[in-house]
Each structure stands twice: as structure tokens, then as C-alpha cells.
Structure 1
């Protein structure tokens, strides 16, 4: 059982990802944007992975990735970006900024499980 943070501005998407992750046996917490995710990562909970949307208000996924080095106390777990972008530009930028993997929406439990496994989160 791993502890996973889901970051997305859509409560519906967070709920869908939560359901998949819980069926896979993981404990899930949620954040509505990158700022909230940073706050959670600074807390006492140690996360084994983060699934993060690229497009969000307040602080999007790319800004979240870019901000992490400003918080040296945070040792970020593997970060899997979730996106609807079909252009590889934003995905490539996310990988350059430190994302471990990415998932194209829509996704299913098999895809999420395989990406977690690819990041060593099993």
C-alpha cells in the first residue's frame, strides 16, 4: 500500500483517479492545484508518488514542477503528469522539469498501474 497525492483542479477527475488508486490498494490524498500540493508535500505525510494535472488555475503542473527546487526540504517522490495535450511540447517540458512519467487522458487502471510500476511505485 502506497500513499499517493492526486493534484487536479477537477473534483470529478480527482474522484476518478482516487477510485482507481484505491482499487489498486493505495491510500490517496488530494490537492486542487500546485500550491496546495506543495503545502501537502511540506507536511508530515510522506508520499510515494504524485499524479498531477498540467493545466490548472492558481499554479499549474508545470509551475508546480518548476517551484519544487525552491523548497529544498521537499524530496519529491516520482511525479506522473496527467494531460489532455496531444502536442509533445508541454509533456517534454514537464519531463525536463523533473516529471518521471506522463499519462494521456483518458486513462484507466491498467495505464495508471503501469506508470506507477515504471516509477518503482508498486
Structure 2
């Protein structure tokens, strides 16, 4: 399975990518939403996108909207991974098309649990 980690924090990208790689994902990273779309436009289409909200150039909500407006990418599972914890923000992200919402900080176990809820644990990670 493939995952795209989109976050303007290099440290956060490394943390999320490490968790996903430990679970068996092939991971690509992007520093903002536009860069994430460029990766996908280049033909590398993930099964899962883990997306921060607050980023320069294109924020996470704009990324979700762009993905949902493209029929080729509508099946992409999107999980917001952000420090935005207000109920209204969560509702906005889910209404825009995100499937799940993970609030920073989090543990690797909590991250794995969210992936399990989404049915996005690679087969080798389920064993």
C-alpha cells in the first residue's frame, strides 16, 4: 500500500512516515498541498493521504477539496493529521471529504488504531 504524508513540518513528516513504513507502507512526502497534488499528478497515486491542515501555498482543507473534485482521485482515503482540535474544524474537514481526523500530538498506537478503523492497515500489519 502507498501513503502520501503532507505536512510543512519536516519532523512531523518523518514521524508519520516512520509509523507508516513500520506498518508496511511505501511512503512519499510533500511539504504542502500543492506539492502533494504534484506528486499525484506525476502518476504516484497513494491509497492513503495523511494531511496537515495549516500549511503554506495550499492548506489541508484545500487539498481535500482538490482531491474530491478530481474523479481519478475520489477513492483516495484521507486522514487529517493536525493540531486543529476545535469541533467546527473537524466537522469542516469531514464535510469536505476527509475520512478521519487525528489530533496532534498522538501515539503510534493511536495512529495505527485510526488506520484500522479506516480499514487501511496493510495485510502484514494485521497479523
- TM-score exceeds 0.5: yes
Whether 1:43 and 2:42 are equivalent positions in the alignment is: yes
TM-score (norm 1): 0.90
Whether the 8 Å contact between 1:5 and 1:31 is mirrored in structure 2 is: yes
Consecutive unaligned residues in structure 1, runs of 5 or more? none
Structure 1 residue 53 and structure 2 residue 52: aligned? yes
* Residue pairs, 1:20-31, within 5 angstroms: 20-31=19-30
In 2, Cα distance between equivalents of 1:45 and 1:67: 16
Structure 1 segments of 4 or more deviating over 4 A?
none
SS at structure 2 position matched to 1:116: helix
> Within 5 Å, which residues of 2 pair with 1:37-116?
37-116=36-115
Q: Taking structure 1 as reference, are residues 74 and 42 closer, same or farther at Cα in structure 2, changes over 3 Å only?
A: farther
| Aligned equivalent of 2:120 | 121
The structural deviation recorded for 1:21 is 1.3
In 1, Cα distance between equivalents of 2:68 and 2:85: 27
- How far apart in 2 are the matches of 1:12 and 1:69? 27
Higher helix proportion (structure 1 or 2): 2
1:33 to partner: Cα distance: 0.6
| Separation of aligned partners in 2, 1:81 and 1:69 | 14
Consecutive unaligned residues in structure 2, runs of 5 or more: 122-127
Q: Given that residues 33 and 60 in structure 1 are in contact (C-alpha distance below 8 angstroms), is that contact kept between their aligned partners in structure 2?
A: yes
In 2, are the aligned partners of 1:42 and 1:73 still within 8 Å (CA)? Answer: no
